[in-house]
A and B are shown apart, each in its own frame.
Chain A
Amino acid sequence: QQPVQSPQAVILREGEDAVINCSSSKALYSVHWYRQKHGEAPVFLMILLKGGEQKGHDKISASFNEKKQQSSLYLTASQLSYSGTYFCGTDYSGGAQKLVFGQGTRLTINP
Protein backbone atom coordinates (compact mmCIF):
# COMPACT_ATOMS: atom_id res chain seq x y z
CA GLN A 1 0.00 0.00 0.00
CA GLN A 2 2.84 2.36 -0.83
CA PRO A 3 1.50 5.85 -1.57
CA VAL A 4 2.08 7.18 -5.06
CA GLN A 5 3.87 10.48 -5.47
CA SER A 6 3.68 12.70 -8.52
CA PRO A 7 5.53 14.01 -10.34
CA GLN A 8 8.64 11.85 -9.98
CA ALA A 9 10.91 14.79 -10.76
CA VAL A 10 10.60 18.55 -11.18
CA ILE A 11 13.08 21.13 -12.42
CA LEU A 12 12.35 24.76 -11.59
CA ARG A 13 14.01 28.12 -11.69
CA GLU A 14 14.45 29.99 -8.45
CA GLY A 15 11.25 31.84 -7.60
CA GLU A 16 8.89 29.43 -9.34
CA ASP A 17 6.20 27.40 -7.57
CA ALA A 18 5.82 23.63 -7.30
CA VAL A 19 3.15 21.18 -6.19
CA ILE A 20 3.92 17.60 -5.14
CA ASN A 21 1.10 15.12 -4.71
CA CYS A 22 0.82 12.01 -2.58
CA SER A 23 -2.07 9.61 -3.18
CA SER A 24 -3.15 6.55 -1.27
CA SER A 25 -5.59 3.78 -2.19
CA LYS A 26 -6.25 3.17 1.50
CA ALA A 27 -7.76 5.42 4.16
CA LEU A 28 -5.14 7.57 5.85
CA TYR A 29 -4.85 8.71 9.42
CA SER A 30 -2.08 11.19 8.79
CA VAL A 31 0.49 12.23 6.21
CA HIS A 32 4.06 13.22 7.05
CA TRP A 33 6.24 15.20 4.68
CA TYR A 34 10.04 15.05 4.63
CA ARG A 35 12.82 16.53 2.50
CA GLN A 36 16.05 14.64 2.00
CA LYS A 37 19.20 16.09 0.48
CA HIS A 38 21.74 13.81 -1.12
CA GLY A 39 23.69 11.86 1.48
CA GLU A 40 21.71 13.26 4.39
CA ALA A 41 18.86 12.09 6.63
CA PRO A 42 15.26 13.00 5.85
CA VAL A 43 14.25 16.26 7.53
CA PHE A 44 10.75 16.59 8.94
CA LEU A 45 8.61 19.29 7.31
CA MET A 46 5.08 18.82 8.62
CA ILE A 47 2.27 16.44 9.59
CA LEU A 48 -1.29 16.62 8.36
CA LEU A 49 -4.14 14.83 10.04
CA LYS A 50 -7.30 13.57 8.40
CA GLY A 51 -9.94 16.24 8.30
CA GLY A 52 -8.70 18.36 5.43
CA GLU A 53 -6.27 20.32 7.57
CA GLN A 54 -3.91 22.68 5.84
CA LYS A 55 -0.59 23.65 7.33
CA GLY A 56 2.31 25.79 6.37
CA HIS A 57 5.39 27.58 7.46
CA ASP A 58 7.49 30.04 5.56
CA LYS A 59 6.72 29.36 1.88
CA ILE A 60 5.96 25.66 2.22
CA SER A 61 2.43 24.51 2.92
CA ALA A 62 0.41 21.34 2.55
CA SER A 63 -3.16 20.14 2.44
CA PHE A 64 -4.90 16.83 3.10
CA ASN A 65 -8.03 15.84 1.21
CA GLU A 66 -9.60 13.06 3.23
CA LYS A 67 -12.20 12.19 0.59
CA LYS A 68 -9.53 11.65 -2.04
CA GLN A 69 -6.96 10.22 0.40
CA GLN A 70 -4.51 12.65 -1.06
CA SER A 71 -2.08 15.20 0.26
CA SER A 72 -0.37 17.97 -1.65
CA LEU A 73 2.78 19.89 -0.77
CA TYR A 74 3.04 23.44 -2.08
CA LEU A 75 6.36 25.23 -2.46
CA THR A 76 5.97 28.92 -3.22
CA ALA A 77 8.66 31.16 -4.68
CA SER A 78 11.16 28.32 -4.47
CA GLN A 79 14.65 28.91 -3.16
CA LEU A 80 17.85 27.06 -4.04
CA SER A 81 17.75 25.47 -0.58
CA TYR A 82 14.48 23.72 -1.47
CA SER A 83 16.33 21.31 -3.77
CA GLY A 84 16.20 17.69 -2.67
CA THR A 85 13.94 14.68 -2.72
CA TYR A 86 10.56 15.04 -1.05
CA PHE A 87 8.89 12.03 0.53
CA CYS A 88 5.43 11.62 1.91
CA GLY A 89 5.03 9.09 4.69
CA THR A 90 1.56 7.74 5.31
CA ASP A 91 0.17 6.44 8.57
CA TYR A 92 -2.76 4.07 8.21
CA SER A 93 -3.18 3.03 11.81
CA GLY A 94 -3.32 6.19 13.86
CA GLY A 95 -0.85 4.53 16.16
CA ALA A 96 2.74 5.44 16.71
CA GLN A 97 3.42 6.20 13.10
CA LYS A 98 4.65 3.13 11.29
CA LEU A 99 5.12 5.19 8.20
CA VAL A 100 4.88 3.91 4.65
CA PHE A 101 6.85 6.19 2.37
CA GLY A 102 6.28 7.03 -1.26
CA GLN A 103 9.02 6.66 -3.84
CA GLY A 104 9.94 10.33 -3.62
CA THR A 105 9.85 13.42 -5.85
CA ARG A 106 13.18 14.88 -6.85
CA LEU A 107 13.08 18.67 -6.93
CA THR A 108 15.88 20.63 -8.61
CA ILE A 109 15.97 24.41 -8.29
CA ASN A 110 18.24 26.23 -10.71
CA PRO A 111 19.38 29.85 -10.34
Chain B
Amino acid sequence: ETGVTQSPTHLIKTRGQQVTLRCSSQSGHNTVSWYQQALGQGPQFIFQYYREEENGRGNFPPRFSGLQFPNYSSELNVNALELDDSALYLCASSLWLAAHEQFFGPGTRLTVL
Protein backbone atom coordinates (compact mmCIF):
# COMPACT_ATOMS: atom_id res chain seq x y z
CA GLU B 1 0.00 0.00 0.00
CA THR B 2 1.50 3.34 -1.10
CA GLY B 3 1.19 6.26 1.31
CA VAL B 4 0.43 9.88 0.51
CA THR B 5 3.22 11.64 -1.34
CA GLN B 6 3.73 15.32 -2.04
CA SER B 7 6.08 17.30 -4.23
CA PRO B 8 8.14 19.32 -4.06
CA THR B 9 9.43 19.07 -0.49
CA HIS B 10 10.53 22.68 -0.29
CA LEU B 11 9.89 25.70 -2.45
CA ILE B 12 11.03 29.31 -2.36
CA LYS B 13 9.08 31.92 -4.32
CA THR B 14 8.83 35.69 -4.38
CA ARG B 15 5.75 37.82 -3.83
CA GLY B 16 3.41 37.92 -6.79
CA GLN B 17 4.56 34.63 -8.27
CA GLN B 18 2.42 31.56 -8.77
CA VAL B 19 3.02 28.07 -7.38
CA THR B 20 1.69 24.56 -7.99
CA LEU B 21 1.93 21.84 -5.36
CA ARG B 22 1.21 18.20 -6.07
CA CYS B 23 -0.24 15.33 -4.06
CA SER B 24 -0.67 11.64 -4.78
CA SER B 25 -3.30 10.03 -2.62
CA GLN B 26 -2.93 6.75 -0.78
CA SER B 27 -3.86 3.69 -2.79
CA GLY B 28 -7.62 3.11 -2.68
CA HIS B 29 -8.49 6.62 -1.48
CA ASN B 30 -10.73 8.83 -3.59
CA THR B 31 -10.84 12.08 -1.60
CA VAL B 32 -8.08 14.65 -1.15
CA SER B 33 -8.12 17.53 1.29
CA TRP B 34 -5.60 20.37 1.41
CA TYR B 35 -4.52 22.15 4.58
CA GLN B 36 -2.26 25.10 5.34
CA GLN B 37 -0.22 24.92 8.51
CA ALA B 38 1.52 28.06 9.72
CA LEU B 39 4.38 27.69 12.18
CA GLY B 40 3.13 26.76 15.63
CA GLN B 41 -0.50 26.41 14.51
CA GLY B 42 -2.86 23.59 13.68
CA PRO B 43 -3.62 22.76 10.05
CA GLN B 44 -6.27 24.97 8.43
CA PHE B 45 -8.66 23.46 5.91
CA ILE B 46 -8.31 24.96 2.41
CA PHE B 47 -10.57 22.74 0.31
CA GLN B 48 -11.44 19.17 -0.52
CA TYR B 49 -11.79 17.30 -3.79
CA TYR B 50 -13.92 14.28 -4.60
CA ARG B 51 -14.69 12.97 -8.08
CA GLU B 52 -12.63 15.81 -9.56
CA GLU B 53 -14.91 18.45 -8.05
CA GLU B 54 -14.35 20.81 -5.17
CA ASN B 55 -16.40 19.68 -2.20
CA GLY B 56 -16.23 22.36 0.43
CA ARG B 57 -13.85 25.22 0.98
CA GLY B 58 -12.38 26.89 4.02
CA ASN B 59 -11.78 30.58 4.53
CA PHE B 60 -9.27 31.06 1.71
CA PRO B 61 -9.45 33.53 -1.19
CA PRO B 62 -10.07 32.45 -4.81
CA ARG B 63 -6.37 32.75 -5.65
CA PHE B 64 -6.14 29.36 -3.94
CA SER B 65 -7.44 26.82 -6.43
CA GLY B 66 -7.12 23.14 -7.02
CA LEU B 67 -7.64 20.19 -9.27
CA GLN B 68 -8.21 16.51 -8.86
CA PHE B 69 -7.36 14.05 -11.61
CA PRO B 70 -9.02 10.75 -12.57
CA ASN B 71 -6.34 8.84 -10.65
CA TYR B 72 -7.34 10.88 -7.54
CA SER B 73 -4.07 12.79 -7.40
CA SER B 74 -4.45 16.50 -6.83
CA GLU B 75 -2.84 19.90 -7.33
CA LEU B 76 -3.01 23.05 -5.26
CA ASN B 77 -2.37 26.29 -7.13
CA VAL B 78 -1.75 29.61 -5.46
CA ASN B 79 -1.62 32.79 -7.53
CA ALA B 80 -0.26 36.20 -6.62
CA LEU B 81 1.72 34.87 -3.68
CA GLU B 82 1.81 36.94 -0.50
CA LEU B 83 4.29 36.78 2.36
CA ASP B 84 1.60 35.28 4.63
CA ASP B 85 1.30 32.32 2.29
CA SER B 86 4.56 31.01 3.74
CA ALA B 87 3.58 27.78 5.47
CA LEU B 88 3.61 24.01 5.35
CA TYR B 89 1.00 22.76 2.88
CA LEU B 90 -0.38 19.35 3.70
CA CYS B 91 -2.60 17.13 1.69
CA ALA B 92 -4.59 14.34 3.25
CA SER B 93 -6.29 11.47 1.49
CA SER B 94 -9.29 9.49 2.64
CA LEU B 95 -12.27 7.52 1.49
CA TRP B 96 -15.50 9.37 0.76
CA LEU B 97 -17.20 8.12 3.90
CA ALA B 98 -18.40 9.78 7.03
CA ALA B 99 -15.95 9.78 9.92
CA HIS B 100 -13.20 8.09 8.01
CA GLU B 101 -9.58 8.67 8.90
CA GLN B 102 -7.48 11.06 6.84
CA PHE B 103 -3.84 10.25 6.16
CA PHE B 104 -1.47 13.13 5.67
CA GLY B 105 1.43 13.45 3.30
CA PRO B 106 4.81 14.84 4.39
CA GLY B 107 3.92 18.34 3.21
CA THR B 108 5.49 21.03 1.05
CA ARG B 109 7.27 23.84 2.86
CA LEU B 110 6.59 27.06 0.92
CA THR B 111 8.61 30.18 1.65
CA VAL B 112 7.54 33.46 0.05
CA LEU B 113 10.16 36.22 0.04
Contacts and interface: CB of A to CB of B under 8 A. Distances in A.
Interface of A: 2, 29-30, 32, 34, 40-44, 47, 49, 87, 89, 91, 94-104
B111 to A, nearest CB: 14
Interface string B88-113: 00100010111111111111000000
25 contacts: A29-B99, A30-B99, A32-B101, A41-B90, A42-B104, A44-B102, A44-B103, A44-B104, A47-B101, A49-B99, A89-B42, A89-B102, A94-B98, A95-B98, A96-B31, A96-B50, A96-B96, A97-B98, A97-B99, A97-B102, A98-B58, A99-B45, A100-B45, A101-B42, A101-B44
Interface in B42-93: 42-45, 48, 50, 55-56, 58, 90
Nearest to B91: A41
Given A97-B33, A97-B99, 16 more contacts: A29-B99, A34-B104, A41-B90, A42-B43, A42-B90, A43-B104, A95-B55, A96-B31, A96-B96, A96-B100, A97-B98, A98-B56, A101-B43, A102-B42, A104-B40, A104-B41
A96 B43 contact: no
In this complex, the interface size class of chain B, counting residues with CB under 8 Å from chain A, is 20 to 34
A8 B90 CA distance: 22
Contacts of B58: 98
Contact of B41 (A32, A97, A99, A103): A103
Nearest to A5: B42
B65 to A, nearest CB: 17
Contacts of A96: 31, 48, 50, 55-56, 94, 96-98, 100
Which 5 residue pairs of A and B lie closest in terms of their CB atoms, listed nearest first? A101-B42, A41-B104, A30-B99, A98-B56, A44-B101
A106 to B, nearest CB: 9
A11 to B, nearest CB: 17
B99 A103 contact: no
A91 B102 CA distance: 12
A85 to B, nearest CB: 9
